Amino acid sequence: MSKMQKMSKMRLSKNLNDKLAKIQTLNFKSTQVNDEKIVKKISNNESFQSSMKNTLSVAYAVGLFPIKGIRENQAIALSYNKLSVPSFLSLFTILTLLWAAILSLVHTIRSLLKVNSGKSGGFANATAGGIFYSNAFVSSCIFRKLASTWPNIMIQWEKHEKDAYPYPKLRARTRAIAIIILILALTEHMLSIGINTPTCRANILLGNSTLRECLKEYCLRSHSFIFNAVQYNMALGLFIFYVSKVATFAWNFQDLFLILTCSGLVAKYRNINNKILKTDIAASNIKDWRFMRELYTNCSELARDFSSMLGPLVLLSFTNNLYFICLQMLNGLAPSLQGPLHNAYFFGSFGFMVGRLICVALAAAAVPIEARRSLPFLRCCPASTYCLEIQRLGFQLTHDEVGLTGMGFFTVNRNFMLGVAGAVATYEVVLLQFDMGQTPPPTLTE
Amino acid sequence: MSKMQKMSKMRLSKNLNDKLAKIQTLNFKSTQVNDEKIVKKISNNESFQSSMKNTLSVAYAVGLFPIKGIRENQAIALSYNKLSVPSFLSLFTILTLLWAAILSLVHTIRSLLKVNSGKSGGFANATAGGIFYSNAFVSSCIFRKLASTWPNIMIQWEKHEKDAYPYPKLRARTRAIAIIILILALTEHMLSIGINTPTCRANILLGNSTLRECLKEYCLRSHSFIFNAVQYNMALGLFIFYVSKVATFAWNFQDLFLILTCSGLVAKYRNINNKILKTDIAASNIKDWRFMRELYTNCSELARDFSSMLGPLVLLSFTNNLYFICLQMLNGLAPSLQGPLHNAYFFGSFGFMVGRLICVALAAAAVPIEARRSLPFLRCCPASTYCLEIQRLGFQLTHDEVGLTGMGFFTVNRNFMLGVAGAVATYEVVLLQFDMGQTPPPTLTE
Amino acid sequence: MSKMQKMSKMRLSKNLNDKLAKIQTLNFKSTQVNDEKIVKKISNNESFQSSMKNTLSVAYAVGLFPIKGIRENQAIALSYNKLSVPSFLSLFTILTLLWAAILSLVHTIRSLLKVNSGKSGGFANATAGGIFYSNAFVSSCIFRKLASTWPNIMIQWEKHEKDAYPYPKLRARTRAIAIIILILALTEHMLSIGINTPTCRANILLGNSTLRECLKEYCLRSHSFIFNAVQYNMALGLFIFYVSKVATFAWNFQDLFLILTCSGLVAKYRNINNKILKTDIAASNIKDWRFMRELYTNCSELARDFSSMLGPLVLLSFTNNLYFICLQMLNGLAPSLQGPLHNAYFFGSFGFMVGRLICVALAAAAVPIEARRSLPFLRCCPASTYCLEIQRLGFQLTHDEVGLTGMGFFTVNRNFMLGVAGAVATYEVVLLQFDMGQTPPPTLTE
Amino acid sequence: MSKMQKMSKMRLSKNLNDKLAKIQTLNFKSTQVNDEKIVKKISNNESFQSSMKNTLSVAYAVGLFPIKGIRENQAIALSYNKLSVPSFLSLFTILTLLWAAILSLVHTIRSLLKVNSGKSGGFANATAGGIFYSNAFVSSCIFRKLASTWPNIMIQWEKHEKDAYPYPKLRARTRAIAIIILILALTEHMLSIGINTPTCRANILLGNSTLRECLKEYCLRSHSFIFNAVQYNMALGLFIFYVSKVATFAWNFQDLFLILTCSGLVAKYRNINNKILKTDIAASNIKDWRFMRELYTNCSELARDFSSMLGPLVLLSFTNNLYFICLQMLNGLAPSLQGPLHNAYFFGSFGFMVGRLICVALAAAAVPIEARRSLPFLRCCPASTYCLEIQRLGFQLTHDEVGLTGMGFFTVNRNFMLGVAGAVATYEVVLLQFDMGQTPPPTLTE
């Protein structure tokens, strides 16, 4: 049912966009000056697509974002083709992740059925792999879907960019965010590899350990559930190594993508707000305001399209992050006597995941805040220049529900973050009590 | 108090409807063309009543929906009569269910008073029967009430259908939903019967078991509370079998009815929204918008009538589903060593109930989403064709609280679903702790 | 701080009322016909004051509602005088309840300090008396305060009653509610007395027990905390008997008063809504709507005054009811082996309190529902008669926050009731776990 | 990310203010009469800055509020200079608190790692110092930031004060609040010192104890974590004594500052509301309402600036108070056998902190209540004088979200207070269960 609904929604929002395009052609024809050259030159450097291209290229290479012309600066050069090489690469990635997800889910179900037999920490160990690979699989499907709508939405994005001329400076900021997050993710994953190869680590310092052995140790320790069914061999080991890297990248990329997209939207809104706030309100006329209202309406339209497009990703990202944060907290609170590297990994990984979630939430929560920023300014409009357009803009700013939602189940804003924090705290305490109830205190057995 | 209020509300909403009818006669006279023949022909196939008739016929046969002319395609042919045959059948069903409800509630109270005496799982066993038959009884009363208002509301539904000409295609969709849910319900109930006749099952394969014995075993196992007071005999067995089938049907039909009605409302809204979104907004005039505003207002009126009519059913359905989901989770989490059929039943039944609840919630939550869908389009209206009618429609779309509510206690939307999921998780954990606290771990006694 | 605020608020709302009065004199002069005789005659039977007078008379007699002319039918005949006899009676009641509250609170504090010493059920036993008498004391203070504003607000109430001519029929309804609640309260209290005089009960059947002995037994059992300090004597016994009756009356009267007042407000709104809904909307003009908007505004003003006046009472009533419901549930869930009278009392008292709370909540929640009822009708207004007045009325109906609040801490509506029910369930489970944790299972000591 | 956002926000709200100033110069020129002398004279006594100066002077002396001309009555005389003496004093305070915060956090982390080794009450003891000094450090940084914007915002505050002529009487009220809170804080801190010097207290009565010894005892008992690393000496003792006094002052001053600022805002709104409510609404014209709308808009602008400026302080204050209230409740509920001074301290300190939090919350919650107070009055405007300005003012009053927020994570209003109370109760019960689970009952070991 939900799918059917979504489909009809997408179909209609397409109609709507076509219509919008028509309207805007009618309205803006007069304002289109021959500044296309300048625009093109600048957009090469500061357009949203251009600022995203490096990050998206990485995803493209991994097989998550199958778009032709991903390294172009302009939306018009992008295209999605089901029968192209990147599309087949993406299909291969999806199938690989599906295979890993099925194997790990089988392990999860088997372990859960055995949970009552008494081993502590069973729940966490049983589900972690299944959730991790399922998340990667769903994520790769969502990104394939996203890629198919990306060229159109980027054209939409660039359409009215020249009306709000001084472009937001996105490049530097986007690059900084992407590099920081990817480096942190890499560090976290290196630590995770380090933990899963204790023997190898010890031997490598002594010089008597080969990469081959390290790989074997890593695979057997971290993906033991696969080798319950199959025998280990070098090729399988390499394949598993590759799959786990792809899944880890998807795990990080879904959050990074959300952060960058939200930053872009905020920059677009900020651009319009700056235009509005720079207006000499006492000398403005109805035409100025009509222009600005239309700018704002277009931007909101774009934000709404993004919101409905990113809905499944937001839901996936929050569910996944909350699961791993709860898991890591449980692991962290349980006594672990396995040396400083483990401690570093646990604290580092936990901090990284909490930080990543907070970044996603703050970035998404910034959209509605920025969208509403010029509302007080409109209220200060003197009676002499107050007009219907200001009234319409004011009404729209007051009532418009801009902002990312997890498919309508929740809207991401700061208040929601407080709620999530409270819920995590509550569940953590309950889970801890549960855990303490299950493990008998060691003093009683002595 | 609540009843008195409701009565006055219904009385007034009737007034309101009469008034509306009058107004619409005044307004629409000019737009009424002689297309009645075409309308009639199409409405025979695609009207809401025609798409519902098969499902309602089943309920009619069981005695839940006592309306004359239930298999007609047009609202005008329907009628409700207190002194007709279907009405007496419905009364008989209600009384039968009342009898079963009283017997099972007596059993519930007796069991609860004995709960402290120590048998585990007592709470679930004690209440399940009582809740099941009470739900069926209340459900049958609500449906009798619904049936009495059904002819009027169907006339209301069809009144403006020709104004929004290309009818929504409801038939195929409705039929598909009804068939899927009823087949799943049947399968679930078959499994439940299978579980309650273990001896019979074994013997049937060997060929030495009669239906008579099976019935006896089924009755004694699944309705033991009745035979605490009365001796078993064949007639009573058949009667109990009949009652339990009716109650099971009511248990499924209440959710199916909600899903189908909400789908109908969504289709009606979608129809109007498509009309609005197809408008050439730059060439439209105030008359077009007046027409569309009136279409929308009529549809909202209808939605509001449905909402107040379905209020008790929504409340009953959610309460009932949540109770059985919690119960099944508790049963599922407790260790059960009774073979694969039991496991299949527990997982299947649990999945079916969760899926059914999600379907009801999503169907109900789709109404307000669809009702507001054309709001962004209105915002794009250029200044040249902006008029009072668009302003009124925009204001109405912004502030109108369309959507099903559980008698005002909650409004069904996606955010509410998240809240319900959170509450179920919390209660489940608390109940589990409770359960673990009450049953002493078996290893300690050895 | 909160007090200062409240004071300034009341002062200003007085200004506002004066202003309103002035405005209304200006506006309504033309509509004032010489129908005063009819009005007076009818208002004698159906005015709000006349429908409340019997209930308020009882409170007057107990010393809770010190107003002169309480049995008059018209607001003009009421007056509040600090130096009158009823005022002194009320002061005496307040001081008596203060004395009982202090004694019981001293007992509460002493018991709480001893709680750790181990006796089970200590918390409930320790606090019940203190809460009961504190509630009665605060309640009596609030009612004295209410009485001082009652004459003015009744004048306000009657001022525009003749504009909305066919008066709501309040008398019969009010009387029925008052009688039912008071009889149930009496029954509940009788049971409570019966439980506290077991010996006497047994002896009275045998004929060898005097009232004097019964009184002594009742006082010593139910108010033991007083006789820790003082010796029992007949006069003190009678006095305690009197005080406990007054406190019980206050405990019930505060809820009854809220129910009746809300019913009155709902009736006033319903009256206006009926007037609006009876309008022939296609033939109405701007004057009709101005008149109705002013009627509605006056009524909302009154509702707002009532809301701020009843704020403390709502807060007190909800806190108090929730405390006693939790207490009774804890008592009821604990095993009690004291015969059928105890069971009847526990179940009856619990049901009575839950029912009373639900009645208060539903009555208060009905105000905003009724206030907004005519909103859909306004939306159906055709373009030909749509005017500024309808726009203003529509905006007001959409955004006006009518409804009782607990001093701003919560607004009473049906959604809030669901929240309260959820909170009670959660606390109950937690308290039960707590209780089970504290009392060692009896089987362990054997 | 959040920081970057905030910065841009502040930059833009500055632009906005400049713009506002320009607009207002255009609009108000005509209303500026030559009443500057009177204004100056009165503003010397009743301006907000003049009413705050004594309180701010104390903070200035401690090094928390580094502004030149802090004792002046007019905003124009204030200035913030990074290279002035107060700025260096403030830097010194910040560094001192940073030193104490680091030392105590090191102690916290060490203690937490040792918590599993079994000592009860460990969590509270481990974190209290760290939280206390971290709070003081963050608080001092926030106040330095606040001081840098204070002169500008005070100029903003005074700008339109003469338009709303009869100034609110703030001086007496502000002074009373400041004195009461500071005296209570002093008493609470004296008790805390008393508890930490038990030997000294005993000896002082006998006359054989020197201040030097008392200081040593106080430092060693209350700041033991510092002397794990360093040896005690007189100079360090004095220094620690000084630091702890500064931190305690900051701990109280942050709440006091919030209460006073909110009172100021409420007084400003009340002033405007009184002006509105005194208007003869039937004789008013559009100019009167334009004037009042502009007054209101300016005030809301100011409130919004304050809200974004105080955001971090609100968040810090609520987090900090909730932490210490939970801590004190846990301590209070645990059995303490250390004499009446300890009991007095525990109950007094707990009551003081709860009262302080309630005062902050009520003061902040009063802002939106007061801001919306004149809304009902506007609704009573008769049709004859209803105009666009009243419509704009009404729309603004209805939809404006005035009020303090904790950086957008929560809005402080009375409903939020109820939520906080519920959350504290829940966590307290959970923590208590936790605590009871960890400490074995002493009777079992005997």
Residues C212-246: tens digit of each pLDDT: 888 888 988 888 877 877 788 889 999 999 999 99
Confidence of residue D320 (pLDDT cuts 50, 70, 90): very high
Confidence of residue B4 (pLDDT cuts 50, 70, 90): very low
Taking residues D35-46, report their average pLDDT: 53
Residue B27: list chain C partners with CB under 8 A. 382
Chains C and A are in contact, defined as 3 or more C-beta pairs closer than 8 angstroms:
no
Give the residue, D105 or A126, on which the prediction is more confident.
Answer: D105
Confidence of residue B17 (pLDDT cuts 50, 70, 90): low
Is the pLDDT reported for residue D23 higher than 50?
no
Taking residues C394-404, report their average pLDDT: 91
Confidence of residue D147 (pLDDT cuts 50, 70, 90): very high
Confidence (pLDDT) at D227: 81
Long-range contacts of D247-250, Cβ-Cβ distance < 8 Å, separation of 24 or more = D247/D97, D247/D100, D247/D132, D247/D133, D247/D135, D247/D136, D248/D185, D248/D189, D249/D58, D249/D59, D249/D62, D249/D64, D250/D62, D250/D64, D250/D97, D250/D135, D250/D136, D250/D139, D250/D140, D250/D143
Contacting subunits of D (3+ beta carbon pairs below 8 A): A, C
Residue D400: list chain A partners with CB under 8 A. 379
Confidence (pLDDT) at D402: 87
Is the pLDDT reported for residue A216 higher than 80?
yes
Is the pLDDT reported for residue D42 higher than 70?
no
Give the residue, B147 or D159, on which the prediction is more confident.
Answer: B147
Is the pLDDT reported for residue A29 higher than 50?
no
Q: Of C407, C406, C411, which is closest to residue C369 (Cα–Cα)? A: C411
Q: C-side interface with D, Cβ within 8 Å?
A: 1-2, 5, 8-9, 12, 15-16, 19-20, 22-23, 26-27, 116, 286, 290, 297, 300-301, 304, 388-389, 392, 395-396, 399-400, 407-411, 423, 426, 430, 433-434, 437
Confidence (pLDDT) at B14: 53
Is the pLDDT reported for residue A5 higher than 90?
no
Nearest chain D residue to C393 by CA distance is D379
User: Which tokens is D292 given?
Assistant: 């009042």
Facing residue for B290 by CB, picked from C274, C377, C383: C383
For residue B23, the cross-strand partners are: none
Q: Find the radius of gyration of the CA atoms of chain B.
A: 25
- The pTM score is 0.87
Is the pLDDT reported for residue D36 higher than 70?
no
Confidence (pLDDT) at B27: 44
Is the pLDDT reported for residue D7 higher than 50?
no
Nearest chain D residue to A363 by CA distance is D1
Nearest chain A residue to B360 by CA distance is A1
Distance from the Cα of D274 to chain A's closest Cα (Å) equals 22
Chains B and D are in contact, defined as 3 or more C-beta pairs closer than 8 angstroms:
no
Give the residue, C18 or A397, on which the prediction is more confident.
Answer: A397
Distance from the Cα of C422 to chain B's closest Cα (Å) equals 9
Task: Provide the 8-state DSSP code for C216.
Answer: H
Confidence of residue B44 (pLDDT cuts 50, 70, 90): low
Is the pLDDT reported for residue A10 higher than 70?
no
* Chain centroid offset of residue A226 CA: 29
Taking residues A392-410, report their average pLDDT: 92
Distance from the Cα of B77 to chain C's closest Cα (Å) equals 28
Taking residues C267-295, report their average pLDDT: 90
Residue C426: list chain B partners with CB under 8 A. 426, 430
What percent of chain A is modeled with pLDDT above 90? 47
Q: Of D28, D297, D19, which is closest to residue D163 (Cα–Cα)? A: D28
Confidence (pLDDT) at D153: 92
Nearest chain D residue to C420 by CA distance is D422
Nearest chain B residue to C399 by CA distance is B399
Task: Provide the 8-state DSSP code for C380.
Answer: T
Q: Tell me how many residue pairs between chain B and chain C have CB atoms under 8 A apart.
A: 76
DSSP letters spanning D315-361: HHHHHHHHHHHHHHHHHHHS---SHHHHHHHHHHHHHHHHHHHHHHH
Confidence (pLDDT) at D18: 55
Torsion of CA A180, A184, A189, A191, to 10 degrees: 150
The stretches of B30-121 forming alpha helices (DSSP H) are 36-46, 48-62, 85-114
Nearest chain A residue to D21 by CA distance is A380
Q: Give the count of beta carbons closer than 10 Å to the beta carbon of residue C21.
A: 14
Q: D-side interface with C, Cβ within 8 Å?
A: 263, 266, 270, 273-274, 277-278, 281-282, 335, 359, 362-363, 365-366, 369-370, 373, 376-377, 379-380, 382-383, 386, 394, 398, 413-415, 417-418, 422, 426, 429, 433, 436
Encode pLDDT of A271-316 as tens digits. Answer: 899 999 988 888 888 999 999 999 999 999 999 999 999 999 999 9
Confidence (pLDDT) at B426: 80
Nearest chain C residue to B389 by CA distance is C383
Nearest chain C residue to B300 by CA distance is C376
CB burial of residue C382 (10 Å; 0-12, 13-18, 19+):
middle
Query: Between chains, do C2 and D362 touch, taking CB under 8 Å as contact?
Result: yes
Query: Between chains, do A380 and D290 touch, taking CB under 8 Å as contact?
Result: no
Facing residue for C380 by CB, picked from B23, B286, B395: B23
User: Residue A325 contacts by C-beta under 8 Å, 6 or more apart in sequence?
Assistant: A350, A353, A354, A357, A424
Is the pLDDT reported for residue B382 higher than 80?
yes
Query: Between chains, do A407 and B414 touch, taking CB under 8 Å as contact?
Result: yes
Side chain identity, residue C324: F
Confidence (pLDDT) at B212: 85
Confidence (pLDDT) at C44: 54
What percent of chain D is modeled with pLDDT above 70? 80
Confidence (pLDDT) at A443: 35
Facing residue for C377 by CB, picked from B16, B27, B407: B16
Distance from the Cα of D139 to chain A's closest Cα (Å) equals 21
Encode pLDDT of B321-343 as tens digits. Answer: 999 998 888 776 665 556 677 77
Confidence (pLDDT) at C226: 79
Encode pLDDT of D179-213 as tens digits. Answer: 999 999 999 999 888 888 888 877 777 777 778 88
Is the pLDDT reported for residue A387 higher than 70?
yes
Contacting subunits of B (3+ beta carbon pairs below 8 A): A, C
* 3-state SS track over B98-166: HHHHHHHHHHHHHHHHHHHHCCCCHHHHHHHHHHHHHHHHHHHHHHHHHHHHHHHHHHHHHHCHHHCCC
Confidence (pLDDT) at D436: 59
Q: Among B3, B4, B5, B434, which would you mutate to test the C interface (most chain C Cβ atoms within 10 Å of its Cβ)?
A: B5
Residue A180: list chain D partners with CB under 8 A. none
Confidence (pLDDT) at B18: 56
Q: Of D255, D364, D267, which is closest to residue D46 (Cα–Cα)? A: D267
Taking residues B57-70, report their average pLDDT: 91
Facing residue for A396 by CB, picked from B363, B379, B425: B379
Three-state secondary structure call for residue A289 = helix
Facing residue for D16 by CB, picked from A266, A359, A377: A377
Three-state secondary structure call for residue A170 = coil
Is the pLDDT reported for residue A44 higher than 90?
no
Encode pLDDT of D52-111 as tens digits. Answer: 989 999 999 999 999 998 888 888 889 998 888 889 999 999 999 999 999 999 888 877
Encode pLDDT of C304-337 as tens digits. Answer: 999 999 999 999 999 999 999 988 887 766 555 5
Confidence (pLDDT) at B445: 31
Between the alpha carbon of residue A121 and those of residues A112, B49, C149, the distances in Å are: 11, 56, 65
Confidence (pLDDT) at D125: 75
Distance from the Cα of D297 to chain A's closest Cα (Å) equals 7
Encode pLDDT of C98-119 as tens digits. Answer: 999 999 998 888 777 665 444 4
- Give the lowest-confidence range in A256-265, A428-437, D271-280: A428-437
Side chain identity, residue D20: L
User: Which tokens is C23 given?
Assistant: 């405005």
Encode pLDDT of D243-294 as tens digits. Answer: 999 999 999 999 999 999 999 999 999 989 999 998 888 888 899 999 999 9
Confidence of residue A165 (pLDDT cuts 50, 70, 90): low
* Chain centroid offset of residue B344 CA: 26
Nearest chain C residue to B399 by CA distance is C398
Query: Between chains, do D273 and C423 touch, taking CB under 8 Å as contact?
Result: no
Give the residue, B96 or A342, on which the prediction is more confident.
Answer: B96
What percent of chain B is modeled with pLDDT above 70? 80
Task: Provide the 8-state DSSP code for C166.
Answer: S
Q: B-side interface with C, Cβ within 8 Å?
A: 1-2, 5, 8-9, 12, 15-16, 19-20, 22-23, 26-27, 116, 286, 290, 294, 297, 300-301, 304, 388-389, 392, 395-396, 399-400, 407-411, 423, 426-427, 430, 433-434, 437
Q: Give the count of beta carbons closer than 10 Å to the beta carbon of residue C233.
A: 10
**ipTM score assigned to the predicted complex:** 0.82
Give the residue, C16 or B205, on which the prediction is more confident.
Answer: B205
Q: Of D297, D353, D371, D322, which is closest to residue D131 (Cα–Cα)? A: D322
Confidence (pLDDT) at A371: 94
Confidence of residue A442 (pLDDT cuts 50, 70, 90): very low
H or E segment at B332?
helix B286-333
Confidence (pLDDT) at A283: 85
Is the pLDDT reported for residue C19 higher than 80?
no
Give the residue, C201 or C261, on which the prediction is more confident.
Answer: C261
Residue A5: list chain B partners with CB under 8 A. 266, 362, 366, 369
Residue D11: list chain A partners with CB under 8 A. none
Distance from the Cα of B271 to chain A's closest Cα (Å) equals 12
Q: Find the radius of gyration of the CA atoms of chain D.
A: 25
Taking residues B340-369, report their average pLDDT: 90
Query: Between chains, do A277 and D9 touch, taking CB under 8 Å as contact?
Result: no
Three-state secondary structure call for residue B79 = strand
Taking residues C1-13, report their average pLDDT: 48
- How far apart are alpha carbons C435 and C333 in whole angstroms? 11
Nearest chain D residue to C315 by CA distance is D418
- How far apart are alpha carbons C344 and C326 in whole angstroms? 18
Long-range contacts of A318-322, Cβ-Cβ distance < 8 Å, separation of 24 or more = A318/A357, A318/A360, A318/A406, A318/A410, A318/A412, A318/A420, A320/A131, A320/A135, A320/A251, A320/A254, A321/A255, A321/A353, A321/A356, A321/A357, A321/A360, A322/A357, A322/A420, A322/A424
Query: Between chains, do B304 and C376 touch, taking CB under 8 Å as contact?
Result: yes
Residue B12: list chain C partners with CB under 8 A. 273-274, 277, 373
Confidence (pLDDT) at B214: 87
- How far apart are alpha carbons D350 and D357 in whole angstroms? 11
The stretches of B207-285 forming alpha helices (DSSP H) are 211-222, 234-278
Query: Between chains, do A410 and B433 touch, taking CB under 8 Å as contact?
Result: no
Confidence (pLDDT) at C31: 41
Is the pLDDT reported for residue D319 higher than 80?
yes
DSSP letters spanning A293-358: HHHHHHHHHHHHHHHHHHHHHHHHHHHHHHHHHHHHHHHHHS---SHHHHHHHHHHHHHHHHHHHH
Residue B146 · residue B309 · CB < 8 Å: yes
Q: Among D11, D399, D401, D431, which would you mutate to test the A interface (most chain A Cβ atoms within 10 Å of its Cβ)?
A: D399
